[in-house]
Amino acid sequence: MFISLFFKCNIVVFNVHEWSVAESVIKTLVQWSSENRIKEVKKVVVSIPSFSMLDVDVLREAFNMMKGEYSLSNTLLEVKIKEPVFKCRNCDSTFTINDVNDQIEKIKLEFGEEYPLHLMPALASAFLVCPRCKSHDIEISSQNITIDEMEVEKS
């Protein structure tokens, strides 16, 4: 019997590189499957914030290489990119990634491969400012990597 499940599951990863993200997804799936008597996970849909700049191909490669070490050899990984919405607590302005893209590019130039938003997207408010009032006091939606959907076979 196949069942499609839709749910949100935040994955907290402090070293947000593609390999550690893949490992966190795998470990989350294994634990959840065990707790819910799932025979097989057929497919998993993971959403990642666009400003994390994770390399989706590397994430897929890492997932595919590691999944065989667990009971997930046949699991397909689908990755969706989610665009954050920012809200300034100071002036109440709402803005998108396009409105702060120039700031993100400057951060990438300054830090190179150690781009902090790649490592920890939750740091965005420390590096980005509201385009309207220049405040760092901003809220960011969709900054977590989430498992949004799974297709499973119950035991």
The CATH 3.30.2320.50 domain(s) of the chain lie at: 2-83+142-154
pTM: 0.73
Going by C-beta distance under 8 Å and a sequence separation of 6 or more, which residues neighbour residue 52?
Answer: 16, 117, 118, 121, 145
- Rounded to whole angstroms, the Cα distance separating 133 from 92 reads 10
For 65-93, write each residue's pLDDT tens digit.
Answer: 999 998 899 999 999 998 889 999 999 99
76-82 and 38-49 beta bridge pairing: parallel
For 100-138, write each residue's pLDDT tens digit.
Answer: 999 989 998 998 867 787 667 778 889 999 999 999 999
For 40-59, write each residue's pLDDT tens digit.
Answer: 999 999 999 887 778 899 99
Q: Which two tokens stand for residue 138?
A: 């901003």
Topology annotation, domain 2-83+142-154: hypothetical protein PF0899 fold (3.30.2320)
- Rounded to whole angstroms, the Cα distance separating 9 from 145 reads 8
